[in-house]
Structure 1
Amino acid sequence: MFSKKEDKMVNLGFNSVRERFDEGVNKALSCLTEIGIGYVNERKEPEAEKTVVSIKEIGKAAARQGMENAAVNAIQALEKLLQCSMEQNMQETNVRVLLSFGAIGKTAAKQQMEMAAKLAASVLGRSGNTAALLNKERETIAVIIGLGEIGKAIAGVKVPDFSENAAICISCLGDIGKLTAQKNLEEAAVGIELMLQEMAAAAMKENLQNTVINIASSIEEVGKKVEDENMESAILQAASALQTIVSNSGNRYLNDASIAAKIALESFNELDIINDEANIKKIEAIRETMRALWVDSK
């Protein structure tokens, strides 16, 4: 249940979006942020999460209405909440906020709002580095999902090949991937490779060859790091992702991308690629966990 004040601010936010009234949206977001921070400081996690959802939904609605400044303000509001929840070590609230960045960023990307999508991706990138360094694997996976969803949305709107925001998503995923290998966060490493593969599929669908080449390079970089750490399932997923890019890009006559992925694949030691049932099941379990997290957050 929302408090009366919170309920009033939620209604103000949505009504202001419908009326395209930026000042009203910003007032609602500001008040909801204060309420959310209060919940976090009191360690009222369920209440804090509901407030996060309200801010996220207002941000998404603003993006759909073409109100980029309001969408940016929603992301900034969530960033303040994340800072507090990280200090309080409230894992589920952290995850909820991180996935919310992805949700707003994805909606913004679909509307070709470059500033809002870039901000969401950049915040996620910084958050992912922090989470990985602190060995917070669940938070890291939430970041990975968010970046991947934004990246897929960018590819889906037929942006020029190669867009700055796509580059940010790919670069952030690659950097976080190398950290996850260093920190032995194998599930997160596999998650990054899965999301990069999904981004490549979206890019290939739109014939964004340079984007696919960049993704293949990022998968190779992460793959070499996990190979150094002998992470069997992550090595297998990197190889599988590259093989899929080789096949699918070749089928779409994206010859340069196919060649780049093939060269990347050949850089692995075949003896390190252990294609057994245990590793396949582990990868599928990680894929399902990520899917469930994203579906639950929408």
Structure 2
Amino acid sequence: MKRSFKAMLSGENDQALRKGLDSIDEEFDEGVSQALASLTEKGKGYLSERKELEAERTISSINEIGKAAALRGMENAAVNAIRSLEQILRCSMKQNMESSTIRILLSFGTIGKVAAEQQLETVAKFAASVLGKSGNTAALLNRERETIAVTIGLGEIGKAVTQMKIPDVSENAAICVTCLGETGKLAAQKTLEEAAIGAELMLEEMAAAAMEENLQNAAGSIAASIEEIGKSAEEEEMENAVFQAASALQTIVSSAENRYLNDTSIAAKIALESFNELDVINDKNSIKKIEEIREMMRALWADSK
């Protein structure tokens, strides 16, 4: 599959990608670093010239190298791929090139997810931390689609982390939950309702994964983060985001009770109580809107692979 992907590309980008993937095959870190350095400079140059299509091809090449490095267990190479994308991200955000920025943010998620699945805790943690910072920046700049991309990446890393039997799972899961909570709350405060709902949806999916693995502390902290986003959304009178918060908490309560996860059930019930005074109805319009956001997020994630 790797060979067929490389055959589709041509020119200097193809040459650098080929060098990076071949160096991974040989477990040659220096060769990977050289390929990433070349691609990074090309990507920044394309963005400075506003050649977004060429820039996105370069971003995809770095993403491929990062994923291949993670699959091979090459921690330093995977971290360097994330650092390369960070450099291009700064240029992309400065140029306000949304499509490239979203592709980079989703790439952090894909590399972090693969790293988590390969038990490369440091790489997964680094990817989540970079996304957390990026989410705050995007929300503060009122860039909603970029903020949504951050929530997708964080959620996918978080779900992968909770499903792996690794010693550092609690710390890595906590980072994803904290970053999702902060990004979602800030999105709500900036009245970016779709982004706030995106964070709530990913937290709900993380809670389901955590409960599958009987990670009650993680599921409990997720409930608290959903409550915070929902309360911020309430202050801004964003009914759909409030509805999703209450709905997610009710789902967590039901799932926890079915699994006899008492600590999680109690934590979610306490969080849900803060919405009891609200007239949260089974609103068809809210349900339709939330499903549209969910499908849009799934499409974005599928396109990033």
Do the structures match in fold with TM over 0.5? yes
- 1:174 aligned residue: 181
Structure 1 counterpart of 2:130? 123
Which of 163, 170, 183 is the equivalent residue of 2:170?
163
When normalised by structure 1's length, the TM-score is 0.97
Q: 1:70 to 1:166 in 2, by over 3 A?
A: same
Give CA deviations for 1:88-129 in whole Å, capped at 9, x if unaligned: 110000000000000000011111111111111111000000
Sort the Cα spacing of 1:98 and 1:117 in 2 relative to 1 into closer, same or farther, 3 A.
same
CA contact (8 A) 2:197 2:241 kept: yes
Distance in 1 of aligned mates of 2:123 and 2:189: 31
Shift of 1:267: 1.1
Task: Specify the alignment match of 2:142 in structure 1.
Answer: 135
**Paired position in structure 2 for 1:288:** 295
1:262 aligns with 2:274: no
For 1:295 and 1:188, the matched residues in 2 are separated by 18
Residues in 1 aligned to 2:37 and 2:255: alpha-carbon distance in whole angstroms? 47
* SS class of match (1:204): helix
Given candidates 3, 9, 14, the residue that maps to 1:7 is 14
Structure 1 residues 159 and 222: alpha-carbon distance in aligned structure 2, compared to 1, 3 A threshold: farther
Aligned partner letter, 1:262: K
Q: CA deviation at 1:187?
A: 0.4
Distance 1:188 1:254 in 2: 30
Match of 2:3 in 1: none
Equivalent of residue 251 in structure 1, options 236, 254, 258: 258
TM alignment of 1:190-269, pairs within 5 A: 190-269=197-276
- Read off the aligned partner of 2:53 and give its amino acid letter: P
Distance 2:91 2:9 in 1: 20
Identify if the C-alpha distance between structure 1 residues 6 and 157 changes in structure 2 by more than 3 Å, giving closer, same or farther. same
CA RMSD of aligned residues (A): 1.3
Cα contact 1:26–1:73 (8 A) shared by 2: yes
What is the rounded CA distance, in whole Å, between the counterparts of 1:264 and 1:103 in structure 2? 31
AA in 2 matched with 1:41: S
Structure 1 residues 74 and 236, CA gap change in structure 2 (3 angstroms): same
TM-score by length of 2: 0.95
Aligned to 2:155: 148
Once residues 121 and 101 of structure 1 are traced to their aligned partners in structure 2, the CA distance between those partners, rounded to angstroms, is 8
Q: Is the 8 A contact 2:155 2:203 kept in 1?
A: yes
Alignment partner of 1:163: what SS? Answer: helix
State the Cα distance separating 1:2 from its structure 2 match: 5.1
Map 1:41-52 to 2 at 5 A.
41-52=48-59
Equivalent-residue separation in structure 2 for 1:54 and 1:28 (angstroms): 10
**Percent same amino acid at aligned positions?**
69
Letter in 1 for 2:301: W
Deviations 1:117-173 (A, max 9, x none): 111111100000000001000000000000000000000103458611111111111
**What's the secondary structure of 2:233's corresponding residue?**
helix
Where structure 1 has 5 or more consecutive residues not aligned to the other structure, the ranges are: none
Q: State the Cα distance separating 1:259 from its structure 2 match.
A: 0.9
- 1:22-101 aligned at under 5 Å gives the runs 22-101=29-108
- The 2-side partners of 1:31 and 1:280 are apart by 47
Q: 2:28 aligns with which of 2, 17, 21?
A: 21
Question: Which letter does structure 2 place at the counterpart of 1:140?
Answer: T
Q: Provide the C-alpha distance between the structure 1 equivalents of 2:252 and 2:15, rounded to a whole number of angstroms.
A: 50
Q: Does 1:112 align with 2:115?
A: no
SS of 2:253's equivalent? Answer: helix
Provide the C-alpha distance between the structure 2 equivalents of 1:211 and 1:161, rounded to a whole number of angstroms: 13
Counterpart of 1:6, as a letter, is N
Which AA in structure 2 matches 1:238?
Answer: A
Give me the whole-angstrom Cα distance separating, in 2, the residues matched to 1:218 and 1:10.
Answer: 40
**Paired AA for residue 233 in structure 1:** N
What is the total number of aligned residue pairs between the two structures? 298
Unmatched runs of 5 consecutive residues or more in structure 2:
1-7
Partner amino acid, structure 1, of 2:186: L
SS class of match (1:77): helix
Give the conservation status (yes or no) of the 8 Å contact 1:106–1:149. Answer: yes
CA contact (8 A) 1:95 1:142 kept: yes
After TM superposition, give the deviation of residue 17 of structure 1 in Å: 1.0
